[in-house]
Chain A
Amino acid sequence: MAELEHAQLLAKLDGSCRRPVLLFLISAVVWLLVGSTLALIASIKLHAPEFLANDAWLTFGRMRTAHLNSVAYGWAAMAAVGVLLWLVPRLTRAPLRGTRLLEGAAWAWNGLVAAGVVAILTGYSTSVEWLEFPLPIAMGLTVCFAVVAGAGLDALHRRQVDHIYVSLWYLTAVMVWFPVLYLTANIGIHGGLLSGVAQAMTNWWFAHNVLGLFVTPIALATLYYVLPKVIGRPIHSYYLSLVGFWALALFYNWAGLHHLVGGPVPMWAVTVGIVASMMMLIPVTTVAFNQHMTMRGHFHLLRSSPSLRFVVFAGMSYAVVSAQGSFEALRGMSEVVHFTQYTVGHAHLGMYGFFSMMMFGGYYFILPRLTGREWPSATLIRVHFWCSAFGIAVYFLALTAGGVQQGLLLLDPGVPFLDVVQATLPWLQARSWAGLALTVAHIAFAISVAQMVLGLAPARGTPTLLAQRVTSQGGAA
């Protein structure tokens, strides 16, 4: 009768987290659409400066910043929190408590991000990268996250399992890391405690760690959960995942200062940043190796499983973007590509090709289990996947090539600056087209999600697959 008990427990766990998780996940999709629109406007403005040029709130400096903050704190953070709140009860087998408080945190989070984006558009941005929201908004977000972390740690404390699964290490660490990072950086920078170069160093300590110690761990937790679950096989080496976790914890912390290579900051700090960036090759290799070895013999499942397809794409992007990042930190490489569109391409491969694709995989896995419905259309999923994959590939390749060209031209003082600008324009146009593809993908995704949560999708039966009748033996389905 263990099965019945399990089913009852499962219903209890899902019931405890359903409302807050759905609220976070749906809000995130709305912010993804908002962020995509702002991104497209900003991208077009960079090669067509007269586009929407008559109002201050539409100017590039504000559009770009509103885009970054709506996707970082609206889409990415809310999706990450939603996934975290779903994974924690599954992994601890303890129902979440404080559901109403969590729902309140989700609503407040939406209100705060909306207020922050309006603040940026109306000229109240702080112009500190990744920390543009004014201090009161940042403090509000900290409180919301504290509620989330409190609920997560409470469930961890009441856990009904002997083992803390690798995904849960990452999630637990995030519940410590993010508050420390966000609070220290906001109070230090906006609270008037730091100025000048010391403030710039704190800025990049935060801005790099919000990627490495917040979104990356949640994405890796998703990878280590969804991948084995979909293919029905444990991860290849559990030892290795342990090594990878601690190596990430130790080295990612110190990588951020490579953003100031060549800048007016103490040489020691930049050197440490470069060393730590290279050391990141260790945790990244462990993840890439583990993913590949776990997948081995199961690659044919990529043809049928939506979750697996997004998650594996994301895992591969993680390996590529991290290796790229390590070498990008080196002084010789930085001399060319720092200050260019190359960095923007790198950032999007990380936040989109890796993180966002991983979250999409999480959505495709989680939503059927929370809504009791199946994804309404395999075609919509296909449109989503291919537009996303194609879009981010074009985006990355265009800005990588364009950025290298831009960097090399900038190093040649014989080339007038305006010629450098002209050389980047075709690449920036290609980026706008890529952005359009990504937006189409997001619309397809949003339609699917809306049908799921509005009860328009078929009730739970067999999963919606991208291809039927495909098994390793080629047998009939």
Chain B
Amino acid sequence: MIEPRTLLLGALATVCFSLTGYVLVPALGVETTPITLENGRAYPPVLSEQAAQGREVYRDLGCVYCHSQQVRPETFGADLDRGWGRRGSLPVDYVGQQPPLLGTMRTGPDLADIGTRQPSETWHLLHLYDPQLTSPGSNMPPFRFLFDEVEGHDERALTLPEGTVANGVSVVPTARASALVAYLQALQQPPDVTGSSDE
């Protein structure tokens, strides 16, 4: 009859088998250091301090649950045709990322290369304040809590349609909003990086 020892060792063996394949082998084998591009620059580049803070905002608000950051390769899906990237994503694009925000849902569009597709700071701020202003019909929630309403004129104020806020009130992005936008602008996967996802 089946003995507890057989059971315990068998169970341990099966899980250690997959742990070796899916945890240890990738930990030792998948690219973990930046590469040097032909122009001499290191890739992926280090995020600016502000963009790094923005990445933390992205993490704490849970943006990853609606936006993936992975462009599918040319032969798989329509990502490139949609203009979501200039090439399929590669392991090297995620070197050093903790956590890698690959995502599993596309309730919203992929953001792996959003900094290239939508470089405008103004657009991003408006979109975060109220997605309906830039993308009517979107089901993205507004992130008004990333903005302050201040009395009087402010040079950083968003240009909003008439009647959005009371007269004489300006809507000003907080440091968190500006950091998040800096991060989104930094999200780019340049085409001159080559490599294979099959090692």
Contact = CB atoms under 8 A, between A and B. Distances in A.
Asked if the two chains touch in their complex, CB atoms less than 8 Å apart, one says: yes
Interface of A: 45-47, 49-50, 53-56, 59-62, 64-65, 123-129, 156-157, 162-164, 169, 172-173, 176-177, 180-181, 184, 188-189, 192-205, 209, 213, 242, 246, 249-250, 253-254, 256-257, 259-260, 262-269, 272, 331, 335, 338-340, 343-344, 410-413, 417-418, 421-422, 424-425, 428
Interface stretch (B7-15, B150-158, B163-171): B7-15
B61 A205 contact: no
Chain B interface, DSSP helix/strand/loop, else mixed: loop
Contact of A264 (B19, B88, B138): B88
Contact of A200 (B59, B72, B94): B94
A440 B15 CA distance: 39
A267 B73 CA distance: 12
B90 to A, nearest CB: 5
A260 B93 CA distance: 15
Nearest to B101: A127
B98 interface: yes
30 contacts: A46-B139, A49-B131, A49-B142, A53-B144, A127-B62, A127-B101, A164-B3, A176-B11, A176-B12, A195-B32, A195-B97, A195-B98, A196-B31, A197-B91, A201-B26, A201-B30, A205-B18, A242-B2, A254-B18, A262-B73, A264-B102, A265-B30, A266-B199, A339-B103, A339-B104, A339-B106, A413-B78, A413-B81, A421-B138, A428-B139
Contacts of A267: 197-198
Given A53-B142, A55-B145, 7 more contacts: A127-B64, A163-B1, A164-B3, A199-B98, A262-B77, A263-B72, A266-B30
A193 B27 contact: yes
Contacts of A65: 62, 65
A61 B61 contact: yes
Interface in B1-54: 1-4, 7-8, 10-12, 14-19, 21-23, 26-27, 29-32
B82 A413 contact: yes
A257 B62 contact: no
Interface of B: 1-4, 7-8, 10-12, 14-19, 21-23, 26-27, 29-32, 58-66, 68, 70, 72-73, 76-78, 81-82, 88-91, 93-107, 109, 131, 135-146, 197-199
A260 B73 CA distance: 13
B139 A49 contact: yes
A198 B78 contact: no
A256 to B, nearest CB: 7
Contacts of A61: 61-66
A441 to B, nearest CB: 25
A243 to B, nearest CB: 12
Contacts of A340: 105-106
A411 B78 contact: yes
B51 to A, nearest CB: 16
A42 to B, nearest CB: 9
Nearest to A61: B62
A202 B26 contact: yes
A262 B100 contact: no
A264 B89 contact: yes
A242 B12 CA distance: 17
A163 to B, nearest CB: 6
A260 B102 contact: yes
Given A266-B198, A335-B77, A250 B14 contact: yes
A128 B99 contact: yes
B199 to A, nearest CB: 5
A268 B30 CA distance: 12
Contacts of A256: 22
Contacts of B21: 254, 269, 272
